[in-house]
Amino acid sequence: MFNVKLLFDISKHVDKYHQNIFQRVAIISYLCKLKKNNLYYNKINTTTMKKEFPKAYEPILSEDKWYPLWLENKIFAADNNSNKEAYSILMPPPNVTGILHFGHVLNSTLQDIYIRWKRMQGYEVCWFPGMDHAGIATQARVEKELKATENLSRYDLGREKFVEKVWEWKEKYGGIIFNQLQKLGISTDWDRTLFTMDESASNAVKEVFIRLFDEGLVYKGKRIINWSPLAQTALSDEEVEFKEINEKLYTLRYYFEDSNDYLMVATVRTETIFGDIAVAVNPNDERYKHLIGKNVIVPLVGRKVPVIPDEHADPEFGTGCVKITPAHDPNDFLVGERHNLDIINTINPDATLNENAGEFAGLDRFEARKRVSKKLEELNLIEKVEDYAHNVGISQRGGEPVEPLLSDQWFVKMKPLAELALKVVQDGEIKFHPNHWIKTYEHWMNNIKDWCISRQLWWGHQIPVYYTEDGRFTAAIDEAHAREKLGLDANVALKQEEDVLDTWFSSWLWPMTTMGWMNDHKTESTPDLEKFLPTDLLVTGPDIIFFWVARMIMATEKFKGEIPFKDVYFTSMIRDGQGRKLSKSLGNSPDPLNIIAKYGADAVRFTMIFLAPLGQDVRMDVDVDAQDIPSMEIGRNFANKVWNAGRFLNMKLDQAIENNNGNSDVCIDENTLTTADKWIRSRYNTTIEKLNQSLSDFKVTEYSKMLYDFIWRDFCDWYVEIVKIQFNDADSAKQVAIAKFAIEIYEGILRMLHPVMPFITEELWHLLSGKDDNETISTQATPMPNNTHIDSNIEDKLALVQNIVEEIRKLRSSTSIPPSQKLPVAIAIKENAIREVFSEAKNVIAGMAKCSELEIAESVEKPSSSLSSVVREIEIFVSLGDAIDLDKERERLEKEIARLEGNIRACEKKLSNEKFVSNAPADVVAYEKEKLDSMKESLLKVKDNLANL
């Protein structure tokens, strides 16, 4: 029974790494249960483990033991003064408001695989972590909390006090995701963590803005921008996604002055007519050429506006006449510039109509649309109303329709920056995986628009621009610097720009700010920059290829004159069984922490990459109610398989040493290795070669499948079973050699598996090696292939042995013979070399195929009452003798043949019925066809079995 002190110690340890109270309670209860089974660590600080090898793998114990030790021993720390070759990765900084989701699980696992693999290869690795201040999301979060807890708005506090509140919130809640990512086992250098609002990052942001301003690449201007009424800020084009929405298209009557004639003008947004300043027609549209220059009256408004010629008007759309509202449409704004038209703004920042809308002032834009349309109808100013489906811009932040709004904003000229960034990708200096994303990248870069970088927020990097009272301004580090640039006296008052910079304006500098570039406005180079830039790999989602990937390339090329990274791995999208993206809003995403707690971090990591091929979306069956993902059984079963193999080999070695009077000093003699030993060694080295190539080619799912196939099938299902047989046939000294050789291969397996399954491999490595807890498999050398041990001839021969054993098993399973019953088997092999291999492996074949007797000869007379088969000219005969009643078995098979033939006839009749085929759903017809094929295949097998009898 646990005493109170022990339970308290456990609780303290668990509290540190489990934020959720329910998880803490569950874990403490679980540890208490394990105490009864002697499956717990002697010291609750998890520094030592009992020597016995636990029967079952308990992930939570390994995870809570090893991660703190890795941190304590600074396994993940990078040295920028090292002479080792560098390898580095930039962590895509999660939002300060973020919590773990399955996108993070996949993304972080992929990065960790490469970092661990390269660390084991002897590189000086550095994984730069960080967190993004997430301007819009964080400000909204804190404002909501402020309202709920203190019934205050940010305006009640004022800017300075509100920003203090955000910092307080960040210190309390920000970065929870880092604690959650640690549960996944990621090996990033946490001491290098950078927050995008840290002073060093802020200084670099200012420096870049000032340089771009001084070069004329940053400018302030009136433009139609995407406005978020919900967040009350501008958005960049990339923060807007378009969705098809069904609305009404109104064709309005714009009467000519002093006339009963009118133009018909189609619009969806009737609420914007108060800002109409012209009607445009295409200059080549013969219907309207004669009307150009005349005036029409804007409905409800009474304003006279000209009919103007402009190619923006599409003769094929609507009536061919387009109302021009420069303040509320980006295309209309350009028309207004071309024709020097006035601009009338009619919508407030909160998306209500302003005083220019007359009686409709103060109404929300959508309510105003209803009322304006109703008024137009009452005044007989609507020609017709039609249903209309069109794309509407939606804010990715708030989910509301954005409002095109004329506003003073800050912009970056992008074309000069895009040219170099496009070239380095086209020239292959930066490679995309999969490479089809290059086309998407090229399209965006060739059609790039200026970037709106100002945001009407208080949380973020305040734009470093200072204004004089007479309207002059400059970009500067501070007021003193601004006065110096403007040539002003020290007593001249200045006011700083109130807007902040787009969050992406800090994260586009990520490759440089993480390494200390311009952290004091002076430092162009640092030891980190010299050692680790360009980084080697960026792992990210394709959805931010424009937000982040392209802009990082631009900024790093511009300010450092080199690429930020060499390879970009675009991850898969995680979807449920119905093909929907996993998300909390859809209610189809379990909490990843619950999944990790249930299956173990290693199982989750392995399953995610096993199911996520490069360039393809991942589909997983999800049970949200049960907080379960059944496909995680793939990883958990695999972990158990690896564990059981290690436990068995450890037990055999202990047994062998005991049998050998405690003497373990037995050398592995190359001359005494069996064909099976050389086969597994060859397969091991072949697999290492292929694994390394797969990772080099960023084919991570192939890497996982190769691991799975080699470890599960070759090593566990075949070689471990062979070890059992060889062990029983050997003397005590030979038994030690057999066990040591198998463990030597197994230890290599642990090292090749470590990058994807770090916890179980660390645990097993220590259990088998007896190493001190301060040592780690993380820094052991990754296996490299020994070509002298690769023998394709031996692999082919053993593959043939495997085929024969499997064929014997199939013959046995085709009858009602109990699996445990042994039968005589005879194998006829004409080729001498093959026969020698089979003769050497005779005991192995006999043991694995459950043979009571095994005859291997050049030719064999077929025994009576036997099952037979031929594989690659090798004849196999399984004698039945009195193992089964042949007459009853024939009767059983004949009945099965009759049953299958009857079902086949019924199915064929159904499929020959044209009425059924034409009326039944396609999937039903397809199912019937598959069922027919399956029954025909089964019938052939049963007939073969009957013939064999």
pLDDT of residue 4: 39
Residue pair 306/294 in contact by the 8 Å Cβ criterion: yes
Amino acid at 40: Y
Average pLDDT on 529-548 reads 94
pLDDT at 16: 39
Percent of the chain with pLDDT strictly greater than 90 = 61
The sheet with strand 86-90 has its strands ordered as 124-128, 86-90, 535-540, 565-570, 431-433
Instruction: Extract the tokens encoding 515.
Output: 């390494």
Looking at residue 23, its pLDDT comes to: 43
Nearest Cα neighbor of 779 from 756, 755, 760 is 755
Residue scoring higher pLDDT (132 or 244): 132
Nearest to 20 by CA among 583, 585, 582, 594: 594
Which of 576-590, 783-797, 896-910 has maximum average pLDDT? 783-797
Q: What is the mean pLDDT of the segment spanning 281-292?
A: 92
Whether the per-residue pLDDT at 844 is higher than 60: the answer is: yes
What's residue 35's pLDDT? Answer: 40
Q: What share of the chain is helix, strand, coil (3-state, %, to 5)?
A: 50, 15, 35
882 burial via Cβ count (<10 Å: 0-12, 13-18, 19+): exposed
Q: Is the pLDDT of residue 38 over 90?
A: no
Residue with tokens 């636990």: 54
Residues across the chain: 949
CA distances from 702 to 326, 537, 611, 690, 696 (A): 55, 19, 10, 9, 11
pLDDT value, residue 627: 87
How far is 814 from 806, CA to CA, in rounded Å?
A: 12
Instruction: Count CB-CB contacts under 10 A for residue 20.
Output: 14
Question: 3-state SS string over 883-948?
Answer: CCCHHHHHHHHHHHHHHHHHHHHHHHHHHHCHHHHHHCCHHHHHHHHHHHHHHHHHHHHHHHHHHH
* 59/61 Cα distance (integer angstroms): 5
564 CB burial (10 A radius; 0-12, 13-18, 19+): buried
C-alpha distances in Å from residue 664, one per residue of 653, 658, 661, 765: 9, 9, 9, 19
CA atoms within 13 A on the CB side of 390: 13
What letter would DSSP give residue 768? Answer: H
pLDDT at 31: 46
What digits encode the pLDDT tens for the residues 630-655? 999 999 999 999 999 999 999 999 99
Burial of 833 (0-12, 13-18, 19+ CB in 10 A): exposed
User: pLDDT band at 553, cuts 50/70/90?
Assistant: very high
CA distance linking residue 932 with residue 929, whole number of Å: 5
pLDDT in tens, 328-362: 888 898 899 899 999 999 999 889 999 999 999 99
pLDDT-based confidence at residue 803 (cuts at 50, 70, 90): very high
A 10 A CB-CB count for 810 gives 13
With a CB cutoff of 8 Å and minimum separation 6, the contacts of 833 are none
For 27-41, 105-119, 529-543, 738-752, which range has the lowest pLDDT when averaged over its residues? 27-41
Share of the chain above pLDDT 70, in %: 93
Secondary structure of residue 466 in the 3-state scheme: strand
pLDDT at 20 over 50: no
Give 480-493 pLDDT, tens digit per residue: 999 999 999 988 99
Q: Which two tokens stand for residue 651?
A: 């037990």
Region 819-830 average pLDDT? 90
pLDDT for the residue 422:
95
pLDDT 10s digits, 187-242: 999 999 999 999 999 999 999 999 999 999 999 988 888 888 888 788 877 678 88
pLDDT at residue 167, as a whole number: 93
- Which pLDDT does position 495 carry in this prediction? 95
Q: Count Cα neighbours of 8 within 13 Å in the Cβ-side half-sphere.
A: 3
* pLDDT for position 443: 92
The whole-angstrom distance between residue 152's C-alpha and the CA centroid of its chain comes to 39
- The per-residue pLDDT of the chain, averaged, comes to 88
What's the rounded Cα separation, in Å, for the pair 143 and 165?
9
917 falls in which pLDDT band (50, 70, 90)?
A: confident
The answer to whether 879 and 868 have CB atoms below 8 angstroms apart is no
Count the helices and strands in the chain (H runs, E runs).
32, 29
Radius of gyration (Cα) for the chain, nearest Å?
A: 36
Which pLDDT does position 13 carry in this prediction?
42
Reply yes or no on whether the pLDDT at 577 is more than 80.
no
pLDDT of 558 > 90? The answer is: yes
Q: DSSP string covering 700-727, please? A: HHHHHHHHHIIIIIIIIIIIHHHHHHHH
Whether 32 shows a pLDDT value over 80: the answer reads: no
Nearest of 1, 5, 107, 68 to residue 571 by alpha carbon:
107
Q: What is the dihedral of CA 290, 293, 299, 301, to 10 degrees?
A: -170
Across the range 736-751, mean pLDDT stands at 96
- Better-predicted residue by pLDDT, 7 or 466: 466
Q: Which residues pair with 878 in a beta bridge?
A: 825, 867
